[in-house]
Amino acid sequence: MPRNARKGRRRVAWWQCAALAVFAATLALSSTVGSAADRVIDTETGKIKVQTLATGLKRPWGLAFLPDGRMLVTERAGNLRIMATDGTLSEPLTGVPKVEVIGQGGLLDVTLDPEFKSNKLVYISYSEAGDDGAGTAVARGKLGDDGLKDVQAIFRQIPKVKGGNHFGSRLVFSPDGKLFVTLGERFKFEPAQDLGNHLGKVARIDPDGSVPADNPFISQQDAQPEIWSYGHRHPQGAAIHPETGKLWQTEFGPKGGDELNIPAPGANHGWPVVSWGIHYDGKDIPNPPSHPEFADAIYHWTPVISPSGIAFYTDDAIPGWNGNLLIAGLSSQGVVRLSLDGETVTGEERIPLGARIRNVAQGPGGAVYVLTDEGDGKVLRLTAETP
């Protein structure tokens, strides 16, 4: 064989090897990405499939499903987007009010009006700047083709104060059409016991922001009429029990003492006088039983799970979960599943997802959707893994 022919054959062989190496590396990368996107987790009730539907969100916080199966999702940085059923994210929608992005504040929760199909109203909560600092606000507007229109603020937490902590801000409608708004005490402690402000409170308002006539403090002088319950620290989870219609709520404790509560009208939950945790500097706080005049939690955690959004699961698509309460865990980096007997917690399971979970919701077909609290935030879908 001529020398040049042998040399050419060696060239072909080298390029073939290089191509095979690139192909193998690409295949390995594809396999890695696929395994990261679709995982199977063993749980007490069976295997759960975890799928990544969307990535690239900046600290996603709130979500709400539209009637057609698409999802509204907020980014704490100030964007409201729509996620299509295939996971595609829209450009930021127009019409979102100016948001004060500070500490734990920003664009926070989103929910639909109970009559959304006819009125197209969407409600958002966010931190709003003012002369004296910032506070939680709620606005509503009509969802159009590219954003919100006719946006109006319907509630503002007073007073606005300095600092970037404890905005609370979960939104949930009750069966009678009233809107609950959870409000943190802005890391100011004592104002949670003062009915003259909205710090450390759960508010209850009509959809237009007016005050329901049956609110517990509407006739009390020097009390804010929107208050439903008080003595809260940093309530970030809220859901309506599907059978009783009662509000259930989770909130962050200090060092220990995260709580699950059922706030009754007019109830005082005791912060900062009592807590199941202690102060960050190690100073003790009396436990709730030492003050029976306060409403106690029905369940609490030490060490903390850092509970954010919550949802009652009401489907049989994931066996063994129907009737359970699902809690988004930040420091616990997963979903906490509580089994219930009436208003008593009978069991707890931690479902690890390897990331701080900001919100959890039941979606179409009984799937569970969660938001990861990351700069490259994700939308995950949990379903039962079928054999």
For residue 297, the number of C-alpha atoms closer than 13 Å in the C-beta half-sphere is 25
Q: Are the beta carbons of 368 and 326 closer than 8 angstroms?
A: yes
166 is catalytic: yes
CB-CB neighbours of 18 under 10 Å: 10
Residue that the structure tokens 């009208």 belong to: 265
Pairing verdict, β 227-230 and 201-205: antiparallel
Q: Are the beta carbons of 148 and 119 closer than 8 angstroms?
A: no
**Alpha carbons 97 and 82: distance in angstroms, whole number:** 17
Measured in residues, the chain has a length of: 387
Q: Are the beta carbons of 335 and 321 closer than 8 angstroms?
A: no
Q: Which residues pair with 163 in a beta bridge?
A: none
DSSP letter for each residue of 40-81: EEEETTEEEEEEEEEEEESSEEEEEE-TTS-EEEEETTTEEE
Pairing verdict, β 227-230 and 234-240: unpaired
212-244: burial string, b at 16+ Cβ within 10 Å, e else? beebbbeeeeebbbbbbbbbbbbbbbbbbbeee
* Residue from 150, 160, 156 nearest 169 by CA: 156
Q: Which residues pair with 41 in a beta bridge?
A: 48
**Alpha carbons 305 and 379: distance in angstroms, whole number:** 20
Kindly name the residue from 166, 198, 232, 234 that is annotated as catalytic: 166
| 114's tokens | 């109970």
Active site residues: 166
